[in-house]
Amino acid sequence: MTAHRTREIKRWKVPKGRVCVQDDLCKGCGFCIDFCPKDVLSAASHYNVKGYHPPELVDPEECIMCRFCELICPDFAIWTEQPDQEGQEQEEEDQDAG
Ligand code: SF4
Ligand code: SF4
pLDDT tens for each residue of 26-72: 999 999 999 999 999 999 999 999 999 999 999 999 999 999 999 99
Q: Is the predicted pLDDT of residue 1 greater than 70, yes or no?
A: no
The 3-state DSSP class for residue 43 equals strand
Q: How far is the CA of 84 from the centre of ligand 2 (A)?
A: 25
Q: What is the mean pLDDT of residues 75-94?
A: 72
Output the pTM of the full model: 0.84
Contacts with 96 (C-beta within 8 Å, 6 or more apart), sequence order: 10, 11
CATH class of the domain whose range is 7-79: alpha beta
Is the CB of residue 21 below 6 angstroms from any atom belonging to ligand 1?
no
What is the Cα Rg of the chain in Å? 12
Domain ranges within the chain, ordered by starting residue: 7-79
